[in-house]
Structures are given as C-alpha cells and as structure tokens.
C-alpha cells in the first residue's frame, strides 16, 4: 500500500457532497492508497466507487456506517467487508433508512411552521434513494438563506435543543455488531470518544461487544476528545482491539479532509484478512 489508508468516507449516497465517483477521484488526487466508502446505512455507492477506481491503483474497501443507539444517544458502527446481500443487514438498514425518511419529514414539518422551508427543498438536496439525514435539511436551510452553512445549521435550527429535532429508529450496538459479524463483516466503533458520548460505552458494555466480535476502535478521528482518546487507547490495549484513524470525509459538507487521520498498514492488513463477506477492489 503506497499512500495513506482512510477507512471512513461518505458520498452522496448518504450525506457526503460528492458522488462515489467524485469521492474516488478526490482520493486519487490526494494520493491515497486506500479508502473505505462508508455511507450511512447504505451500500448503494459500492459499485460506482469500484468502477471509478478502475485503472487508478486506488483500493476501495466496501463498508458502511451503521446507525445504532443506546437510549437516546446515537452510536455509530463502521462495518467493512460484509456481504451486501445478507438478509439480516439488508432488512435492518432498510428499516433504519425508512425511519430516517419519516423522521426527516417530521423535522421539516416542525421547522416549516417557523421558517420558509418545504419537503421539496430537502429532496432537491439529496440524491435519489440516498440515506436522508439532518445534513440534507441543513443544505436546504442554507439554500433558503436561513443559515450560512451546514455546520451552522447543526449548531442552531437542527440542534436537539432547538425543539424541531426527533430521533430515528436504530438498533442497539450489540445487535448491529452481531448482524455485521453474521454477514462476514468487520465491525469497528466509529468515533467512540466524542464529547458527550464518552459515557455511552462503559467498559462492561464494550466487553459485550468484544465478545460479539468487535474488531476495533476508531481513535484517530477529529471529534474524539483528548481524554476520550486516552481512555480508548487503554481500552483497546485491555481488550486487544485494533485501533484505526480516519477522516470521516463528507466532501464540502464538513471541514474534515481526506487522510487527515489514517490507519496503520498492519491494522489494515488484519482487517482485510478478517472480512469474509466481500473483498476490497483495487483499481
């Protein structure tokens, strides 16, 4: 592997601003060795990403970022190299996407009582069949001129405290890990040390996930706090978990740049060896 390895990126199949082809081209231009395409609750970008990588030398690792929750808190699980046709995962992700859609409609309904915003505005910001989320509502609010950019929307109108928010359905992290493992995939907890999320995975809960087949923790991620990283590093050593680093690139949707954090080649090799449901594609 010649360039950096970035195992967490989003395309317009979820809430990234670039199509899978544009994402792959951006990775090639940035000199990356491998990226994982990890759209929220969807594998719909895999085929296009593989096609775009053809002839470039870039490796594309098929993946997804699964939405899960513990109580009202959202927990993200990265999943790699699973079988995209596994019925358990297909059913669960369809259920999550459907709930995301209804939830987005409700949020827009509430916002539209106070701001000039329609459901069509939101649809205009999302690709056909893409996993809908607050980022698309944010983009619609930007297009209407209510906020200057996506991040500002998250800090104001879309913030849970603003009163328009509602959660969507998501499985427990244990169920998600079990589904990924059953589909031949490799599960890694995404940014588990962000502000406010530190309390979500206490040691005993993590132990349960490890027993179910959790492979690693995404420690080098810009949203993990310094104290969070320290704690995660201790936990990774204690449970013999792999540690990854990645950008969580969303195109122009977030300030995160490709390969601003990356994963060590040894960890990457172990991850590739562990997955049995699908293979990485080297173009």
Please list, in sequence order, all residues whose beta carbon lies within 8 angstroms of the beta carbon of residue 261, skipping any fewer than 6 positions away: 6, 220, 221, 222, 245, 246, 247
Residue 26: which of Zn ion, Fe ion, ligand AMP, none does it interact with, CB under 5 to 8 A by kind? none
How many Cβ atoms are within 10 Å of 11's Cβ, its own excluded? 29
Which residues in 50-79 contact Fe ion (CB under 5 A)?
Answer: 65, 76
Q: Are strands 73-80 and 186-189 parallel, antiparallel or unpaired?
A: antiparallel
Residue nearest to Fe ion (CB): 76
The closest alpha carbon to 258, from 34, 30, 45, 78, belongs to 30
Distances, alpha carbon 70 to alpha carbons 64, 115, 170, 198, 231, in Å = 19, 32, 9, 12, 19
Write out the two tokens for 80.
């790699």
User: What pairing do the DSSP bridges indicate for beta strands 5-9 and 34-37?
Assistant: parallel
The closest of 262, 216, 260, 266 to 237, measured between CA atoms, is 216
Through-space distance between the first and last CA atoms of the chain, rounded to whole angstroms: 13
User: Which CB, 15 or 48, lies closer to ligand AMP?
Assistant: 15
Total residues contacting Zn ion by CB under 5 A comes to: 2
Residue with tokens 């056909």: 128
Q: Does 133 bind ligand AMP (CB under 6 A)?
A: yes
Element (H, E) at 211: helix 203-212
Q: Is 154 in the site for ligand AMP (CB under 6 A)?
A: yes
Binding segment toward ligand AMP, per CB under 6 A, in 28-36, 55-63, 128-136, 174-182: 128-136
Stretch touching ligand AMP by CB under 6 A, among 20-28, 49-57, 208-216, 248-256: 248-256
Size of the site for Fe ion (CB under 5 A): 4
Provide the mask over 249-278, with x wherever binding to Zn ion is found by CB under 5 A and - wherever it is not: ------------------------------
Backbone angles phi, psi at 12, to 5 degrees: -70, -5
Q: Does 8 bind ligand AMP (CB under 6 A)?
A: no
CB of 256 to ligand AMP, least distance (A): 9
Which pair of structure tokens corresponds to residue 228?
A: 């969070």
To which residue do tokens 């499985």 refer? 171
Q: Which of 238, 177, 247, 198 is nearest to 218 (CA)?
A: 247
Q: Which of 230, 225, 203, 228 is nearest to 214 (CA)?
A: 203
Determine if 134 is a binding residue for Fe ion (CB under 5 A).
no
Crossing angle for the helix pair 173-182 and 203-212, to the nearest 10 degrees:
20
Least separation in angstroms between residue 8's CB and Fe ion is 6
Contact flag: residue 248 with Fe ion (CB under 5 A): yes
Q: Does 254 bind ligand AMP (CB under 6 A)?
A: yes
Q: Which stretch binds Zn ion (CB under 5 A): 7-15, 77-85, 180-188, 265-273?
A: 7-15
> For residues 16 and 33, which CB has a smaller minimum distance to Fe ion in the complex?
16
Pick the closer one to ligand AMP by CB: 222 or 270.
222
Segment near Zn ion (CB under 5 A); pick from 4-12, 41-49, 91-99, 103-111:
4-12
Q: Which of 6, 15, 18, 41 binds Zn ion (CB under 5 A)?
A: 15
The conformation of residue 110, written as its DSSP 8-state character, comes to H
Q: Which residues bind ligand AMP (CB under 6 A)?
A: 15, 133-135, 150-151, 154, 250, 253-254
Q: Which residues bind Zn ion (CB under 5 A)?
A: 10, 15
Q: Which residues bind Fe ion (CB under 5 A)?
A: 65, 76, 190, 248
């Amino acid at each position: 592997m010649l360039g950096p390895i970035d195992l967490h990126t989003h395309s317009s199949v979820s809430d990234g601003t670039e199509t899978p082809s544009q994402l792959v081209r951006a990775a090639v231009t940035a000199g990356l060795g491998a990226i994982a395409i990890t759209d929220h609750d969807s594998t719909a970008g895999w085929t296009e990403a593989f096609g775009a990588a053809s002839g470039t030398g870039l490796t594309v690792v098929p993946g997804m970022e699964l939405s899960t929750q513990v109580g009202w808190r959202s927990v993200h699980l990265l999943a790699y190299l699973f079988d995209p046709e596994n019925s358990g995962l297909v059913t669960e992700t369809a259920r999550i996407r459907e709930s995301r859609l209804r939830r987005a409609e409700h949020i827009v309904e509430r916002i539209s009582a106070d701001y000039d915003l329609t459901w069509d505005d939101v649809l205009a910001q999302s690709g056909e069949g893409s996993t809908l989320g607050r980022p698309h509502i944010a983009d619609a609010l930007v297009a209407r001129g209510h906020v200057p950019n996506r991040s500002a929307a998250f800090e104001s109108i879309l913030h849970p405290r603003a009163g328009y928010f509602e959660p969507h359905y998501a499985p427990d992290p244990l169920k998600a890990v079990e589904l990924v493992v059953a589909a031949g995939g490799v599960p890694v907890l995404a940014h588990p040390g962000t502000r406010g999320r530190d309390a979500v995975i206490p040691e005993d809960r993590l132990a349960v996930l490890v027993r179910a087949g959790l492979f690693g923790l995404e420690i080098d991620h810009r949203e993990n706090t310094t104290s969070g990283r320290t704690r995660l590093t201790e936990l990774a050593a204690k449970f013999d978990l792999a540690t990854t680093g990645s950008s969580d690139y969303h195109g122009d949707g977030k300030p995160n740049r490709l390969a601003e954090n990356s994963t060590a080649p040894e960890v990457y090799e172990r991850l590739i060896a562990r997955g049995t449901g699908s293979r990485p594609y080297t173009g």
